[in-house]
Amino acid sequence: MNKYPSMPRQLVDGLPPRNVPHPAGEQVDFHYHDVEEWLEVLKGKISFFSAGELEYSLVEGEALKIPQGEIHRVAIGPEGVTYRMWVPVNDEFFSHMLDDKDMSLVRRNLELPEVENRWDARIRENLTGGDNKNRAFLDDSLSADLTFCTADGKLLVGKVAYLDRPPADVIIRYPSDSIRILLKGPESILLSTVVYTELKKGGPRQSFSNSRLFVKEGDIWKCRVWVNYPERGAS
């Protein structure tokens, strides 16, 4: 999500506006939208929280952009709120609520970068109890049929190839607190997030998009396809 001190009108030209009121103290649980949403607070206060619980608090005159698919929840201030909303559809049902199982998958994805760092830093000849915990986390999250694509385009086929790959030359320093749902069905979920990395030998921060396709194996979500690629325009 991106917060603005005022609405950049040129970015919503041509979109139909709609005024939306919410009563004092209302809470809206985690959900996502099929489309991008812009909103401007007309009166009152409202707070949006990312999947990682980063708060974006808005008062009168301030604006917010919610990208398509970005997971968030909402808390209305003590006096209620009215905001003007712009979305590129007239359909009222562009929001999709997430249940506890969905959010469990989302939170595991937020943990994943640090688990990757710890697993990559292990002493391969002498695994500790912590190493075994990290392996169990990854083992539970990944399909045996995983296809993993590194940022430089190298393919690793199968969970074992991913787990046993050589040490990386980067550390994931700044995992994003947000996750987007690009596609969701009964048996599959396509998630997207951003991670920031630094070379172990030093150098500038880089940002990479991670797209991860999860499928149900039994009743457990397992990552079947994982693709990393540099963010467009990232430095």
Per residue in 108-142, pLDDT (tens digit) is 999 999 999 999 999 998 999 999 999 999 999 99
Higher-confidence position of 231 and 28: 28
Domain co-membership, 148 together with 213: yes
Of the residues 71, 96, 121, which one is the last residue of a structural domain?
96
Of the residues 96, 111, 139, which one is the last residue of a structural domain?
96
Domain co-membership, 25 together with 108: no
Distances in Å between the Cα of 44 and the Cα atoms of 29, 55, 61, 89, 199 are 20, 16, 10, 26, 45
Identify whether the C-beta of residue 71 lies closer than 8 Å to the C-beta of residue 193: no
Residue with token string 């079947």: 224
- Is 235 a member of any domain? no
**Please, what is the Cα angle at 30 between 182 and 91, to 5 degrees?**
60
Domain count, the chain: 2
pTM for the structure as a whole: 0.90
Closest CA to 26 of 64, 94, 61, 76: 76
Domain harbouring 45, CATH code: 2.60.120.10
Of the residues 81, 96, 111, which one is the last residue of a structural domain?
96
Domain co-membership, 136 together with 198: yes
Q: Is 83 helix (H, G, I), strand (E, B) or coil?
A: strand
Domain co-membership, 107 together with 81: no
Domain co-membership, 36 together with 84: yes
Domain co-membership, 216 together with 122: yes
Pairing label, strands 206-217, 220-230: antiparallel
- Residue 171 belongs to domain spanning: 99-230
Q: What is the pLDDT of residues 60-98, one digit of tens each?
A: 999 999 999 999 999 999 999 999 999 988 766 689 999
Q: What does the alpha-carbon distance between residue 25 and residue 66 come to, in Å, rounded to a whole number?
A: 21
Domain co-membership, 92 together with 105: no
